[in-house]
Structure 1
Amino acid sequence: MKFYILSVCLLLSTTYLSAQAYDGRDDQKFQVGANLQSNGTGIMTSYDYGLGENISIGATATYLLGVNESVSASTWERFDAKARFSAHLGNIIGLGDQVDIYPGLDLGLKNFGFHMGARFFFSDGLGVFTELGFPIAKYKTENLEPSEKLHNQFMVNIGAVFNFL
């Protein structure tokens, strides 16, 4: 674990100042990472396309690979897809070119929700991200089975982000 922390610190200390976390119009980002939530862990991917200086739209898909043994979840209950809208605030609040913070809204198969994310780029093409997400309005609210609570709760995403120039 100490080696892992030291490696991350070294990577962060050798960043390139030319890295751009968000370029504005026509900016394209692809993210892949782990999805962590109560009773399940999985993989998530997302794609964002810049519409303006501080606005992007995109899509995200998540599939839970590991589900708690007490939860009987079908393939459909393990999967979620969402359309998303994000506002990129990194350059507005003066965080520097390689950092971006982005709150946004999601409209998915399971709910309408909110996400808050951060990206840090080591170079022009590679960086790391983390996102927090939670539902604002669930499509079904009463008597949810444990499998129906998957993707309908607080979740954390963490992984790598790639810049498509």
Structure 2
Amino acid sequence: MKKIILFVALVSVSFVNAQAFLGKNDNKFQVGANFQDGGTGINLSYDLGLGENISVGFSTSYVLGLDDALKNNAIDDLNADFDNRFDLRARFNANLGNVINIDDNFDVYPGLSLGLKNFGGHLGARYFFSDGFGVYTELNTPFAKYKSGTLTAAEELHNQFTVNLGAVFNL
């Protein structure tokens, strides 16, 4: 019985000591779903800690499915080929989990991104259940689009407000 109690205590401690952002050389990989007006897709991102509260990385999204309403209403010009469905962004995050000090397992990170389609910003949150696994969500919006004027429906895919939800892993 003592061995079982010791084992449960050790396992519990490993879950309690998970930290959302460790600072310099911390590596995060995220994979999730991308939701936006007109389509849904997949999002991948990677962040590398440069300092106590700063990280840089990249994010990429690919729109897999287009909504039927989008296809039917606007879309003589929706030649949503690979270049319209794909976006790649360099990103900068300010990891504020230890500043706001809600929980060691929780991190909030506002940031900026410079992509193939626009310059934008994001607000994300991560929660870790263990040292290696957690969940994340991000809200993304463009600040400046590279093409001025009216965008086609295909060009609008990565130039709008998006939401990402998924899993995050410590590497």
Greater C-alpha Rg = 2
Identity %: 59
Task: Give structure 1 regions of 4+ aligned residues with deviation exceeding 2 angstroms.
Answer: none
2:45 matched residue in structure 1:
46
Task: Provide TM-score, normalisation by structure 2.
Answer: 0.86
Equivalent residue runs for 1:13-162 within 5 Å: 16-69=15-68, 70=71, 71=75, 72=78, 73-162=80-169
> Is there any run of 5+ residues in structure 1 with no aligned partner, and where?
1-14
More helix by share: 2
- Give the C-alpha shift of residue 16 in structure 1: 2.0
Partner Cα distance (2:154, 2:165) in 1: 23
* Aligned length, in residue pairs: 150
> Is there any run of 5+ residues in structure 2 with no aligned partner, and where?
1-13
Task: Provide TM-score, normalisation by structure 1.
Answer: 0.89
Partner AA of 2:84 in structure 1? E
Partner Cα distance (2:150, 2:160) in 1: 15
1:7 matched residue in structure 2:
none
**CA-to-aligned-CA distance 1:97-122 (integer Å, 9 cap, x gap):** 10000000000000000000000000
Q: Equivalent residue of 1:91, what SS?
A: helix
Partner Cα distance (2:148, 2:125) in 1: 30
- Give the C-alpha shift of residue 17 in structure 1: 1.3
CA RMSD of aligned residues (A): 1.1
- Give the C-alpha shift of residue 141 in structure 1: 2.3
